[in-house]
Amino acid sequence: MGTLDPDILEWCVVHHAVLITNNRASMPVHLKDRIEAGKYANGIITLNDGLSLGAVIEELAAIWQATSLEDHVNLIRYLPISS
């Protein structure tokens, strides 16, 4: 709600969180900018508007069970992963 994308990425680093977002336009750009500036990010998972809520939940649950935070560092993942 008005927070800048780079600030959200920094919050995720401080709070050990992977960002899950539907912002497929600017958030990946800000993540790349952050990496190019020599900073790391915990990565982002971008949602697909074509997936049902149930499919999103299944995808996120599978990711959560199979990975750790370190597996997402500096990565952009696009749902669906399992297609």
Q: Quick one: pLDDT at residue 82?
A: 64
Q: Quick one: pLDDT at residue 80?
A: 86
Name the DSSP letter for residue 20: E
Q: Is pLDDT above 70 for 36? A: yes
Q: Is residue 73 part of a domain?
A: yes
Q: Is residue 49 part of a domain?
A: yes
Q: What is the pTM of this model?
A: 0.83
Number of domains in the chain: 1
Residue with tokens 């800048």: 4
Answer yes or no: are the C-beta atoms of 49 and 22 closer than 8 Å. yes
| 3 Rama class: left (phi>0) / alpha (psi -120 to 50) / beta | beta
Q: Is residue 83 part of a domain?
A: no
Containing domain of residue 52, as a range? 5-78
Which residues is 77 bridged to in the sheet? 45
